[in-house]
Each structure stands twice: as structure tokens, then as C-alpha cells.
Structure 1
């Protein structure tokens, strides 16, 4: 289902929003993250999908492959880590902790009794656990019943203590808050709520690395127009979408691209927010194969950025996400094969959904002049689940990708 956002505008980036998230802070976060050994030094690949663009009847499709961001396999590595650094700096301003020294574990002894906690569907918790391990503090991660054992094991491998609950993601958020209060721990969450905005802001600010890299990769000059007419953004609580949109809005102002947010039908909190005109809750079960997007409550802070900028909110079926995973894995129409996880492929699933319906294609302007940016937010973060859904292993897809790249260089 598609809903047009009646509150979306095309205007210069407001000072109120710039005070919360800005290109300047995104650049600072990116520089700090360059000192963390878990992250790759080079930008993640921007993969042209020229064959798929022809098949779908658009001018261009580029896919930012965040599976190559780090060994963590997800864009979430950019958010949780920088939020943890900024939290530590706020708690102990007199110690003048520098990001480089924190990431290198130089203050591990001083921070050994400091504990952070978060709920997660997998990627955020794994990233927080990895950052906490390298910085030297303790980490507790609350997992709900639908998080796979593969994802639990990946988080635990970084030394985090795991707490399992019987409920869904939103219940795990509540349990993390309860444990934090009971034990005097600090919550590092990617969703905001009343009285809790600084850390989610820092998480979202870390995601500004993605659009900055893209514009550099395309060599977009300071006075150049936006290279894309449309950007598809995964939903969830709205943090990633807000982080990307805020950067592009500040850079391009009224000439920003059209944003289309995509989320599961059963976890439609952003879709419902667009209808209500305020941050709202999902109406479905929330459970979805798109685990990273299976969120029931919109982040109020993220909504402050999404309400004036996202043009359309789209819900998709789980089957559409799986189909998009397979399309990317196959290297359809001669494109490079890409490993994209259940949530990572949601943007492509949204694009495919819209172009198959002529009315929706026309409504959203997805014509033969459209230039599309997709962000594959994760790779095979649960390898067995990926293989079951795609019909081949991630390693097999990567082998095909390597072969394609070798042939392209001949």
C-alpha cells in the first residue's frame, strides 16, 4: 500500500533541524569512525545496476552495498559506535576522551565498570557490542523471540551478555529500559522516546557517512544538482531514513530528491504516522522476515525529519523482499551479483512493487528519466536464513560477484 505524505515540502533545510543533525556533525562522526578497526577504510561499493534499470524502465539504478561496511555486515556499524563514543564524552567531559583513543581501547581500564544496554533485532546490537568490546566497557543486549540464534551468536561473539524475552521488538525495548533503571546502566537505543533523544540523534548522525560517501564517489561538486531523482529508504523506526534525508536535504534544499520509505505491511508504523500526521504505531503483528524493519513504534525524533521530507510511504509483503534478495543475488540482466539481506533488499522490493503498477509508477514519477538510489543496508547477517530464502549461500553469491568483477576488468 502507498500513501502520499501531505506534509512533505521542498524547502531549504531549517535551522531547527540543523541544530539537531548537520553535515558538519556527519563529517566529524565520519572522521572519528575512521579510527575504528572494525570498519573498512574505503567507502562501501556503489554498484550500478544498469541491466535492472533497463528491465524496470528507469534511467539509472545505483545500489550502495553496506554489507561491505565492516565485518559486522551492516550500516548499523556507523550508528551505535558513534553514539557510544559521544555518550562517554558527555558523561565524563572532564576526562577529555578522544574518539581515536576510545576506539583503540586506551581507556578500557577506566571504563571497565561502565555498562551499556540495548534492545535489537540483530544489527544494532551487534554493532554496539563490537564497539563496547573495543572501547572496553560492558554491554548487555536484549533479544526478542524472533531474533535468530545466528544473530544471537554473532552478538555474543563480541563479549556481550544476552538477555532473551518472549515478546516482540517493542517489548525488548521496554525490558532494556527496565534493566537499565534497575542496574544504573545506560541505554544506547536507535529509537527515541520522551526525554530520550541525544543518543538516537547520535545514532542517526552516524548514518550521514553513507550519503557523503556516495556524493564523493560520484564526484558531485558543491554547486552540482542531486544525481538522483528518487531515493528509496528502509523504514524501521525511521532512524536510517532520517539520517540519510537530513544530509541530502541540507545539501540540496528545495531541489532534494523524492524520498520513498519502505517497510513491512505488518510493521507499518511510518505508514500509519503519515496518515495520522504524527509519530504513530504499527497496526499489524510486527513480525516480519525483514527483521531489521520489524518495529512497531516510530521514533518521534526521526519523524521530525521524515514528516517534512518523505514524499511517499510504502508497505510491502515479505515475499516481495525475498524476491528482491533473489534478483540481487542472481545478477539479473548482466549486473554484478550482490548479497543483500532481508531488510537490505527492501528498497529494491519497493521499487519493483511500484513499477509493476502503472498507476503507482506514474504517481511517483518512476519514468524513463528516473535516477534511483537504493541502499542495501545489510548482507547475510543470518547466513542460514539467507541461504534458505535465496536458494544459494552468500559465499556462492560472493564467488559469482568476484567472477563478474574479474570479467568486467578484462
Structure 2
């Protein structure tokens, strides 16, 4: 077991959250219902695989590992396909209704009945890659102009993927949080509309829609499982994925919902530091992580409201674990299926394997031979060049 990944130190904060109603109030069952009803009607919709990894589970000493592989999602390579495009549709619906004073149906926008109005509504966002790609894809489908802001370290391959979907891509100096600020400022100056996966005071509808879209993924998972997992390891970032998945699991499983473990790069650990402080806390990113989708220094307040009440553990992992975990999924143990995973997808699995090699951390997390662990494989190969370098043996840390 200890030979599966390099030795590494994991940061750990354990919480005793005061359970409240945020998992039903911030994201209601009706929010998830609406997202599922719309997204499952889109051309190309199909549930993504929930992969069992029994040989790996035996090797690390847990009962079960289930890995939700989001690589095939709508041909876009990540779970973000469920969020950005759906939130864009909501922005278009609200703005057209505001301009016309009439009720607007999502299906009518999707069918092109408001194409002239949509063509005059520019949607913008900041991204590390996957959210922007989803937004660009949605804008292309619905006929809206799209501007995407990326920071200095976003790979050119990810930028080109968004251009290929018709987006205008603006690269800025600075990090992800700087690109968020630039997108907001230019949208305000030009009358454009931000479709962000992070919230701020007075801005909650699009990020709520983003998280509601992620519920489609969770409902697919729950339909395939006859009992709740004991643990779910969730990537951090601004917290949208972790919060959306957590709320949907709590609504489905109730008191039997799994123990929530949030995992972040040690180079971008804003949720970990928020847990330490007991309040949403921003961090300065001094060095970018290979886990590009998780390189976020400021939590989403909307997401934090849920995590503060539901998440029990926060872990940080070093970049040195990422490439070996990507290769382990591609060349699996025993008869486990091979999975092509991107760098951000493996954070939860890397943390799980590393935790099981540390007896005290395993005990602190309640991980033992009876643990049934759910992982969200949030992306497939979203940058073929980086994936090829990892598979060639580069550690990229």
C-alpha cells in the first residue's frame, strides 16, 4: 500500500460542524429538480460511469471505492459541463424576461425562439479552464456572445479549446482571483453579464444554478447505489463542487449521508484555512498547482455556507501525488478498469491513498476496512499535452 504513491505529508483540519439547514436552504430540492429536468433534455445527455475499483480498495484496506468518471460528460471532458451552460441559460432567461416583461421558458431559449435577443446578451466569466469551456459551449448552443478571462498560468491547450467553441479568450497577468476581478469590472463597464461559479455579496443566482447543475451528477450516483457511502472525498477550489455534491447527498441520504472530506492543493488551500479560522478566509497563491481547476484563493460564500455546516474534514495534498495517481488510474491494479483522468480529478483519490498509509490520519478520518468511499473524478483529459507528459513519466510538481 505504501508503494502506490510517494510518501507525503497531508494537512488535516477536523471540524465538528453545527448542522443546520443550509443543505436544503441554499440549494433546495426544487433547485436540483429544475436543473435535472432541463439538463437531461439536452442533446448528448447520458449518465457518466460510476466506476468500481475493487483491487485498489483491497490494496489500501477499504471495503469499496466508487469513482464517478466525468470525462465523457457532453464531450467536454468534465463535470463543469453541468454547471456553466445551465447557469448561462438561467442568466439569459432572467434578462430576456426583464427586457420583454414576459415569461420566458428555458426550452424556448434552447430551441432558438429568442435568438435575436440572446445575440445581444454577452456572457463573461473567469476560469481555470473547465468552467469557461462549459460556458463557451452553452453560449455556442444558445447563440450568445462569450468572453472568457484566464490567468497567466492557464495552459494554451485549455485556452484554445474555448476559442474552438467560439469564445473570445482574454489572458491577464496574475492568478485566478485576479481574473475574477477583471471579469467583474469589465462586465460592469460594458453591460455584460457574469456567469461565475463563485458568489459575492449581491451575486448569487448564477453560482447557485452552477451548483444545482452538479446535482444531476449526484442523482445519477445515488440511483446506482443501494446504500450510502461512508465517506465522500471532494475537491475544493472555490467550494462549488464540494457544496453542490454535499447538499445533494444530504437531501438524498439524510442522516445516513457520507462523511464529507474536502481535499485541496497545499498551494491553494482557502477552504482548509477557512475551516481553521471558522469563517470564509482567502489565501494568497504564491505558486500555482498542477491541479489547475483547484487553484483558487477565495471561497465562494454561497458554497461555504453549506460546507461550514456539513464538512467534517479538510485535507491538503502536495502536487507530488498528482502525476503518480493519474498513472495509477491509467494502469490500474488487478482487473480494475483503466480511467483517463485529469490532474484535478485525482485529488480525492490521492488523498485517500495517502491517508490509508498513515494509521493516525486514517483513524482521525474514520477510515478502516469497512469504509465505502465515493470519489468525484471531476475531469478527464482536458489538456492532452499535460496528460501525455504525465504518462511519459513527468511528475509536473
Give the TM-score band, short-chain normalised. Answer: over 0.9
Cross-structure match for 2:272? 271
Secondary structure of the equivalent of 1:193?
Answer: coil
Kindly indicate whether the alpha-carbon contact (under 8 Å) linking 1:266 and 1:282 is maintained by their aligned counterparts in 2: no
Candidates 75, 79, 82, aligned match of 1:75: 79
Total equivalences in the alignment = 381
Gaps (5+ residues) in structure 1?
221-225, 393-410
Give the ranges of 4+ consecutive aligned residues of structure 1 lying more than 6 Å apart after TM superposition.
none
Closer, same or farther: CA 256–250 of 1 in aligned 2, 3 Å: same
Aligned partners of 1:147 and 1:291 also within 8 Å: yes
Match of 1:194 among 192, 196, 201: 201
Task: Report Cα offsets for 1:103-158 as digits up to 9, x if no partner.
Answer: 33332222111101000000000000110111011110001111111001100111
Partner of 1:266, secondary structure, is coil
Give 1:209's aligned residue.
216
Q: Tell me the secondary structure at the aligned position of residue 280 of structure 2.
A: coil
CA deviations over 1:71-109 (Å, ceiling 9, x no partner): 111000111111111122222333433223323333222
Mark the runs of 5 or more structure 2 residues left unpaired by the alignment: 1-9
1:137-156 matched pairs, under 5 angstroms = 137-156=144-163
Aligned ranges for residues 2-401 of structure 1 at < 5 Å?
2-9=11-18, 14=21, 17-37=23-43, 40-93=44-97, 94-218=101-225, 220=226, 226-285=227-286, 287-391=288-392
In the TM superposition, residue 242 of structure 1 has moved relative to its aligned partner by: 0.3
SS in 2 for 1:308: helix
| Whole-angstrom distance in 1 between the partners of 2:111 and 2:75 | 17
User: 1 or 2 for the larger relative contact order (CA 8 Å, sep ≥6)?
Assistant: 2
Take 1:261 and 1:92, find their aligned partners in 2: how far apart are those partners? Answer: 38
Q: Deviations over 1:246-266 (max 9, x none)?
A: 011122223221111111001
How many Å apart are 1:17 and its aligned residue? Answer: 4.5
1:376-401 C-alpha deviation (Å, 9 max, x unpaired): 00001000101101228xxxxxxxxx
TM-score where L is the length of structure 2: 0.93
3-state SS, counterpart of residue 77 of structure 2 = coil
TM-score by length of 1: 0.90
Taking the aligned partners of 1:54 and 1:156, their CA distance within structure 2 comes to 44
Moved more, 119-128 or 274-283: 274-283
Q: Is the 8 A contact 1:341 1:379 kept in 2?
A: yes
Q: Could you say what secondary structure the match of 1:285 adopts?
A: coil
